[in-house]
Amino acid sequence: MPDKNNLWKVNTNKFDNEKESIMRNGNLYQISNGYMGYRGTLDEFGRDELVGITVAGIFDKVGDEWREPVNAPNGGYTIIKVDGKKISALETDIVKHEQTLDITNATFERKTVFKEGSKKINISSKRFLSIDKPNLGAIEYSFSTDKDAKIVVETGIDYNIWDLSGKHLVNEKASKKGNVLLYDSVTNELKKQVCVAELTDFKGLKEEHVIKSNYNLRKFSINAEAGKTYKLTKNFAVFKDGDTPGNLIDAAVKTVEEAKSAGFSGCLKVHDELWKKRWEQCDVIIEGDDEAQLALRYSIFQLLIVAPVKGSANSIPARALSGQVYKGAIFWDTEMFMFPFFVYTYPEVAVELLRYRIQTLDGARRKAKTEGPGFRGAYYAWESQESGDDACTYFNIGDPHTGRLLRTHFRDKQVHISGDIAIAMWEYFKLTGDDSLLLEGGAEVILECARFYYSYAYFKKDKNRYEILDVIGPDEYHERVNNNAFTNKVAKVTFEIALEVVNYFKEKHPDALKKLLEKIDIAHEIPQFEEAYKLLYVPQPDPETKVIEQFDTYYKLEEVSVEEVKKRTVHPNEYLGAGQGVAVPTKVIKQADVIMMLNLFKDRFPVDIKKANWEYYEPRTEHGSSLSACAYALVAADVGKIDWAYKYFLKTARLDIEAKYKVYVGTIFMGGSHPAANGGAWMAAIFGFGGVKANKEKVTINPRLYSKWKKLSFNLSFKQDSFAVNIDKKKVVVVANKNNADSRAFSVANKELSCKPGETIEIKY
């Protein structure tokens, strides 16, 4: 629950032992550092309580099961026994319990008072995953009793691993080297090495080494004195293939030994300093609305904890690093909903996300060749893992009535994914002015995406136009539709961007252009892109209603309310789409589709068109996706529906902090965090209420603060320069960092300005 007295913490003073509550709290209190995520579970918990240390960028497949990310063994495991009785929140009476997530520095703390017989036992622990050394986790653990007692402490590595789809680590070996406990293994499919090292500092106490039941433990026996506090510190390190050019075991041992030498407080100090810099760069301050402040700050925190490690070329999965859910795959969510936050506040992470797409270009090429006759170029995976090959299966949603998997067309018909990536690639260049990414492979990605759309498009001679047929738009309740407005617009803009890239390279990098055109043999196709850009059909607003038909024949579907459609379901986990879903024959849609288009291309549509479509599609949208609410918030703000914008802003911002999301779709477990919704919350605040947008030339700010908000303050990065923005009810103040490279153009409340390095501009509105 939010801590109303502290807008930097989330805490609870209750413990609910229901499995679903433990699962949701594991998401809510998770910590991460971009390399690995550690679910917010208690020290004594194990596989059955969904303890998970999910490692970024490594995946495995067992048999015919889904391929998913690898969970590492838990090097943070600790349990105590008092007079022979195990102390656990699941088995021992609890007198008092509190757990806290401090979002200033991504630390998790628990304090529990247990009662075992006539004795009270106090247990406290604090943990973090180092930002400074991403392979490292650190824990401080203490306990005391109110009466003398015989205490046994067992701490070390628990390799009873929670896996959703098979046992991923095999050839497991547990050992001890000097004072360091070790675990070594390889993945089942590709034989990638994964190892864990653990080192405990419990001064003055002898230990016994025990390997049993998939635990590699050190055991301490203590005649504990009443009222005396006993404290130990633990460091664990997780390493996987590719993390270091040297021996992984040696690297893991070195990491924990160095951490022990620095001490828990020493490691935490460095970690805290790095987190302080992150918040100075990325925080958003809302004055006058504590609920919105904490929800937004928690959303920003969720994005920061999964920012990929520099140089990793990793991206952010749809469920972040909260577990193996959604196969740990990267979706369009990243480019459309998370990337904007990073490119405007933390561009060094934005570039990492796009490098992932460059790295996986060959996977996108392979998919284009295998998904249809004559497809060419880059057809990016709907569910992308480390190679870029599609992890999405053709049958992937379970029917809760029969248990059978339903045929869906997410993998083979969600063609907008390639354009989403091309748009983000070009957006990075426009907003940063940095063309190095284009030279490193970004331009190649864009041209290959355009090539794919040309191969996918169908030319109708009688209408003299190209069409995009047989697709799924963002609204996944309606599959295999023709001329989805969002998809066609994305494809058209991709052709436009491809032509802009060629023209830019002709002027700035002619030699690089020549090499690129020769490398992928595409020079003769550029005129085809020009023709497709001119002739590709995009559904237009009706002259009378101004509504854009979502796809061909959408208007012929049944007119029925969202509530009525839900009444037609028989099972609470029933999926409303796929072949026979109850929403399929109706106009009820899963999520923002036309509205998503109007937001993505907001400068290309007038306010009256956006308003008419918002009012038409809003009552027909079921919001079956966490991606939907923010698009409705953004367009609502654009058209002056500020109360509606606030409603949908809160819906997306509170999704993870309230932990009230869907857990199952059909028979498929979907529990986990929602970084796309977190990114959507930031966009709704900054682009929506702050009225911020930018292009190659300038930053525009036209505020429309929610009535309850007294002030909105945030930082922006533009053209590799940084600016602090403060908006209140009467004025906008922009402060340029004194180290900025140049003057930058701003349009504030429709006034054109230039902001020099170190300058402050103030505009009343």
| CA gap 625, 254 in Å, rounded | 44
Is 428:343 a contact under the CB 8 Å cutoff? yes
Contacts of 654 (CB under 8 A, 6+ apart): 295
| CA gap 689, 634 in Å, rounded | 8
Parallel/antiparallel/unpaired status of strands 119-129 and 53-60: unpaired
Residue 549: active-site member: no
State how far the alpha carbon of 178 is from the alpha carbons of 197, 240, 257, 295, in Å.
Answer: 11, 22, 11, 46
Torsion from C-alpha of 24, 686, 493, 440, nearest 10 degrees: -80
Contacts of 550 (CB under 8 A, 6+ apart): 473, 475, 478, 481, 484, 485, 539, 589, 593, 594, 617
Torsion from C-alpha of 334, 340, 344, 350, nearest 10 degrees: 20
| CA gap 73, 182 in Å, rounded | 11
| CA gap 679, 630 in Å, rounded | 9
Is 486:493 a contact under the CB 8 Å cutoff? no
Sign of CA dihedral 731, 754, 340, 418: positive
Set 386, 476, 479, 496: catalytic member: 476
Read off φ and ψ for residue 146, nearest 5 degrees.
Answer: -85, -10
Kindly state the helix (H) or strand (E) to which residue 440 belongs, with its residue range.
none
| CA gap 241, 674 in Å, rounded | 28
Is 698:745 a contact under the CB 8 Å cutoff? yes
| CA gap 260, 247 in Å, rounded | 20
| CA gap 172, 164 in Å, rounded | 19
Contacts of 119 (CB under 8 A, 6+ apart): 82, 83, 145, 146, 147, 149
Is 139:125 a contact under the CB 8 Å cutoff? yes
| CA gap 93, 272 in Å, rounded | 35
Is 416:471 a contact under the CB 8 Å cutoff? yes
| CA gap 60, 82 in Å, rounded | 40
3-state secondary structure of 594: helix
Catalytic annotation, residues? 476
